[in-house]
Structure 1
Amino acid sequence: MNEHEFQPEESGLRLDKWLSDHTEWTRSAVQDWIKSGYVTVNGSQEKSNYKLKAGDVIHVEEPEPEELELIPENLHLDVIYEDKDVIVVNKPRGMVVHPAPGHPSGTLVNGLLHHCTDLSSINGVVRPGIVHRIDKDTSGLIVAAKNDRAHQSLVEQLKNKTTKRRYEAIVAGIIPHDKGTIDAPIGRDPEDRQKMAVTDRHSREAVTHFQVIQRYERHTHVSCELETGRTHQIRVHMKYIEFPIVGDPKYGPRKKHEFPIEGQALHAALLGFRHPVTDEEILCEAEPPADFQSCLVHAASF
C-alpha cells in the first residue's frame, strides 16, 4: 500500500476535488477511498465535501489494486502476424486490451493467454505481453511480446519514435487542407478527470500527423500517424482542431449524427516495427471493419 502526504496552500476547495485536481487519481476513486477511510485530514477522517484550509495535512493510503484472476479464453483472435517472439492482432471494436475492474474477462489478454504458450512478464500478471494499448472502442492492430527481450525492444522503439502507427478516422466537418501536423501537449482535463485534453498543466508532448483521404458533404475521412502515443491522443487532437471523430462518446461532435457504429470511428490500420531479434522490418496492415465501412457509406449519403 502506497502512502502519500499533501499540504494544500489554498483554502475553500472540497477535499475530493483538490485531490483529483492535484494527482492522477480520478475523483470517483478518491471519493471511494475517503468513504473507506484511506484518507485523513490532520489525522481525522473527513467527508468528500470537507472544505480544506491552507496548511491542512492530507494523508492518503492508496489501496492495492484489486487482484484479478486471469483465465485463458478462446476468443478466436484475428492474428495478422506471429512468430516465437511477437504477435500482432487485429483487435475488434468493443474488446478491452487487459483485465480491469468491470472487465475481468473477454479481454485481449484473456485471448492471448489461450492462443500463446508464453507472454512477457514485464508488465506483471494483469498485462502480460502488452507493449501498448488501443482504446476499447477503437479497432485495429496491436502488438504483444512473447518474451522479455522482445518486450524491451518494442518499448524502446516506441520511446525512440521509430515505430509506424497509422490510423483511419471519420471526423465531423470538412478539413480544408490536405495534410497537417497537430503539435499540442496532452494531460488530464482540469474540468473532467475522466477525460484528456490539450493543456499546459501536467501535460506531455503529443504530435499527430494527419492527411485527408476523402471529403464528403459534412464529414472527412482521414489517416492519422502517431509520432507520440498519449492516452486518447488522436481523439483529443481532432477535437482540439474542431474536427472531432464521429461516434466518440467522450470527445465527439456536439451535434449528433446517427452513424451505424458503437463507439468512435477510429481504426488502427497500419503497424510497423523492427523485429526485436532479427531486426527485420515488420509491416502489418488491416482494413477497417464493416461498421467503419458502413460509416463511410453513411457519410456519403448526406
Structure 2
Amino acid sequence: MNNKLITVTEEVVDQRLDKALSTLDPEVSRTQAVTMVKEGAITVNDQVKKPKYKVQLGDVISYSVKEPEVLSIEAEDIPLDVIYEDEDVIVVNKPQGMVVHPSAGHTSGTLVNALMYHCKDLSSINGVVRPGIVHRIDKDTSGLLMVAKNDKAHLALAQELKEHKADRYYIALVHGEITHSKGTIDAPVGRSKTDRQKMAVVDHGKPAVSHFEVLEHFPAFTLVECQLETGRTHQIRVHFRYIEHPLAGDPKYGPKKTLAGEGQYLHAKTLAFTHPRTGEKMTFEAPLPQNFTDMIETLRKSRIVKLEKN
C-alpha cells in the first residue's frame, strides 16, 4: 500500500470528500474515492468522515492507495494485418474492437500481445506493458499504427509526433449536416471536470488542433476526413462533440440515438512519417473496414430514397 497525505486547497473547498480527493489526486478516480470513503480508508484530520462530508481549507486528507498490479504480458498468436515491416518499424492496420496495449481490464487479446508473438524485438522505452507503442488509437477505432522495433527508432518517431511532422488522416462519420466544406477545430482537451472517465474541451487542457474536410453528405450525417495536428486522448471524438457533430456510434461522446455498430465510425486511414534510419518519407493507407463501407452504402441509399420522395 502507498500511504499519502494531501492538504485541501481553495479549489475544492466545500466539495464532497470523494469528489475533492479525485480532483486533488488525478491518480484516484471518483469511483475509487467513493469506495475508499465507504470502506473508511480515508481520514480527514485523523478522523473517519462520511462521503457527504464537505472539505474545508487546510483539511489534511490521509489515505492509502493499492500498489498497481504487476501485469504479466504473454505473447499470443493473434492474426495481424501488417502493412509494412523492416528492422526498425512495423505499420499495422488495427481492427475495430482490439485494445492497443494491456491494462488491468485487458490483459490479453491486445495488439501488444499479438506483436510480441509476431516480433521478438520491440522497443523498451514504454516498458513491458507497452513495448514498441509510439502512439495509440482507441479500442473501437480502426486503422494504422506505427510500432518501433528498437529504442532508437522509437525516440525518432516519438520526436516526429511531438513536432507535428508526422501526418495522420482519419475518416469519420458524424451526426448532423456540416454546412461548410472544411474547417479547423482549435480547442484545448483535458480531463472532464464533471466526469473523470471522459475527456472534454476545458480551459486547463492541452492544446489540441484538428483540421477537417467534408467528403459527403447524407440525411442527418456527414462523412469527413480529419487531419490531426496534435494527438490528445479522444481528440477527434471530443472535438466533434464540441462543435455539436458527435461521431456516429460513439458510446461515450455521442447521443443515445445513433447508428448501430460496435463503436464510433472512425478509421485511421493514412499515416506518413520519416523513416528513422533512411530519412525517407513513407506514406501508408488502409481501406475502410467492411462495417464502415456497409454503413456508407446504407446511408447513400437512404439519401436516394429521400430525394425520390421529394
TM range (shorter): over 0.9
For 2:62 and 2:69, the matched residues in 1 are separated by 21
Which secondary structure does the structure 1 equivalent of 2:19 belong to?
A: helix
Label 1:148 to 1:33 Cα distance change in 2 as closer, same or farther (>3 A).
farther
For 1:101 and 1:89, the matched residues in 2 are separated by 24
Question: Where in structure 1 are there 5+ consecutive unaligned residues?
Answer: none
- TM-fit CA distance, 1:54: 2.2
Q: Sequence identity, in percent?
A: 55
* Correspondent of 1:114 among 114, 117, 138: 117
CA deviations on 1:74-113 (whole Å, 9 max, x unpaired) are: 1111001111111111000000011111111000000000
Number of residue pairs matched by the alignment: 299
Q: Which residue identity does 1:226 align to in structure 2?
A: L
Aligned to 2:201: 198
For 2:44 and 2:222, the matched residues in 1 are separated by 51
- TM-fit CA distance, 1:2: 7.5
- TM-fit CA distance, 1:184: 0.5
Which secondary structure does the structure 2 equivalent of 1:192 belong to?
A: coil
Which secondary structure does the structure 2 equivalent of 1:30 belong to?
A: helix
The alignment's TM-score, normalised by the length of structure 1, stands at 0.93
Which secondary structure does the structure 2 equivalent of 1:237 belong to?
A: helix
Aligned to 1:242: 244
Label 1:73 to 1:196 Cα distance change in 2 as closer, same or farther (>3 A).
same
Q: Which residue identity does 1:301 align to in structure 2?
A: K
Aligned to 2:300: 300
Label 1:89 to 1:34 Cα distance change in 2 as closer, same or farther (>3 A).
farther
Aligned to 2:105: 102
Aligned to 1:252: 254
For 1:34 and 1:86, the matched residues in 2 are separated by 47
Aligned to 1:226: 228
Aligned to 2:136: 133
Question: Where in structure 2 are there 5+ consecutive unaligned residues?
Answer: 303-310
8 Å CA contact retained: 1:91, 1:139: yes
Which secondary structure does the structure 1 equivalent of 2:156 belong to?
A: helix
For 1:123 and 1:39, the matched residues in 2 are separated by 32
CA deviations on 1:3-32 (whole Å, 9 max, x unpaired) are: 452323354321111122344242123334
- TM-fit CA distance, 1:182: 0.3
Aligned to 1:7: 8
Q: Which residue identity does 2:7 align to in structure 1?
A: F
Aligned to 1:79: 82
Which secondary structure does the structure 1 equivalent of 2:160 belong to?
A: helix
8 Å CA contact retained: 2:8, 2:55: no
Taking the TM superposition and a 5 Å limit, the aligned residue runs for 1:12-91 are: 12-24=14-26, 25-34=28-37, 39-91=42-94
Answer with 1 or 2: which has the greater Rg.
Answer: 2
- TM-fit CA distance, 1:117: 1.1
Aligned to 2:281: 281
Q: What root-mean-square deviation, in Å, do the aligned CA atoms of Structure 1 and Structure 2 show?
A: 1.8
